[in-house]
Amino acid sequence: MEGARPVPEDLLEANWQLPIEDLRDSRWEVVVVGAGPAGAMCALHLARAGRRVLLLDQAHFPREKTCGDGLIFDAFNELNRVGLLDAVRSLGRVVSSASITSPSGFEFHIPAEYITLKRRTLDALVAREAVRSGAIFHFGEGAHVRINPDDTVHLEIEECPRPITARVLVMATGSAVRFAREAGVLVRPQSSAVATRCYVRSRFRIDRIVGVYLRSTAPGYGWIFPMKDDLYNVGSILFSRYRRGRLPHSHEAYDAFTRSSEPARRLLAEGEAVSPLRSAMIRTGLAGSRLLGPGPVLTVGEAAGSTLPLLAEGVGKAMHTGRLAAEVIHEALAADDIRVLGEYPRRIEAELRRFYRGLARAERYVGMRAVNDFMSWRTARSPFLQSCLAALIKGSADPGDVFSLHAAVQSLWR
């Protein structure tokens, strides 16, 4: 376990998020609605580039976010770019291995670096850094959007007496679809998955990430993420789009996992749940929303479906989309030409699309019990497949290559 650096107090007091009544200026270069990893990272980069940016969130920070709290290479890269990786490492817990178990009990391990840190702390850390870099952060719920004839954005915020005008609006509202629909960016309201999590404090020690596919949770899996101080994030995910017939309630999948998986059962037998069971929707596959427009509106993070299929890992990709949006917005404002915003979907396609294709394919196949069992059995015996999966988690291999027929065939002798 990492050293016990205490969470800085001002991080959790959040006097750096101002009330909406105190919002004086009504004209902004950029307004970012939603201060999760996507929105806060976007505001941070824009502020560091010298842009006048207003960041808004309907929640009082620090706020809870229903999440597995796990981070991998892509989040490390984005945090490192803005100088926050060391803080995250020292506030969180570093874990160096994951075990994955198939529905019939075939188990394999993926050695890699994983960090767990409560989203309450992580998101506050990034939003506070955005404020330190010059962004203005207010409490406020985006309510209505209209594009003015001069191509600026007219924005109404709940309980704010005056509307706001922005040259560019960034939609960073996560899996909540109401405001995205209002702004005209929503294409498909259905989510890709639903996931449930609970914090458990236990004397039983688990030092690795645990992922378990059960027949009753398919298509989906249960997880245990070890955190600091004998705390564990325990949860389950159900992929909604491959299920024929009735999708079990997400709490049923959680119950099935904690009753029948041996590590989860022992964790609860020697400990107790210390939070309510919470569920949330997940939007994956870079689909479901327009990345650009109508008007000068860019969609980032889970609002753009940026969470990865299969892994449901979304923090790193949310930050990445936030950074790309910030770069393009800065260029558009510097050139005084909003047509430059058209670069944003192109950069997303060029830098990110390849991560989604192979994982979407894998997500479909792991929902088939026989395929899942066979591939897990092969992986447990194939050093080649094990190294492919480790490379995937470390970001040095493409999911399209790892989850391919070519790799499956090679695993027969490697």
Ligand X SMILES: Cc1cc2nc3c(=O)[nH]c(=O)nc-3n(C[C@H](O)[C@H](O)[C@H](O)COP(=O)(O)OP(=O)(O)OC[C@H]3O[C@@H](n4cnc5c(N)ncnc54)[C@H](O)[C@@H]3O)c2cc1C
Binding interface with ligand X (CB under 6 A): 33-39, 56-59, 65-70, 141-142, 172-174, 176, 179, 195, 197, 235, 280, 282, 301-303, 307, 312-315, 318
Q: What is the DSSP letter of 243?
A: -
Q: Are strands 70-71 and 153-157 parallel, antiparallel or unpaired?
A: unpaired
Distance CA 237, CA 251 (A): 10
CB of 300 to ligand X, least distance (A): 7
b/e code 80-115 from CB counts within 10 Å (16+ = b): eebebbebbbebbbebeebbbbbbeebebbbebebb
Q: Pick between residue 102 and residue 116 the one whose CB is nearest to ligand X.
A: 116
Our CA angle for 83, 87, 92, nearest 5°, is: 140
Q: How far is the CB of 45 from ligand X (least distance, A)?
A: 14
Q: Minimum Å distance from CB 63 to ligand X?
A: 6
d(C-alpha 166, C-alpha 58), whole Å: 18
Instruction: Quote the least distance from Cβ 268 to ligand X, whole Å.
Output: 18
List of E strands, 203-277 = 209-212, 220-226, 231-239, 271-273
Q: Is residue 46 helix, strand or coil?
A: helix
CB-closest chain residue to ligand X: 314
Nearer to ligand X, 34 or 220 (CB): 34
Residue indicated by tokens 């976010």: 65
CB of 221 to ligand X, least distance (A): 12
Q: Which is nearer to ligand X, 17 or 173 (CB)?
A: 173
Nearer to ligand X (CB atom), residue 282 or residue 329: 282
Q: By C-beta, is 45 or 411 nearer to ligand X?
A: 45
Q: How far is the CB of 69 from ligand X (least distance, A)?
A: 6
Q: How far is the CB of 224 from ligand X (least distance, A)?
A: 11
The residues pairing with 398 across neighbouring beta strands, listed in sequence order, are: none
Q: Which two tokens stand for residue 319?
A: 């930050």
The CA distance from 321 to 261, in Å, is 36
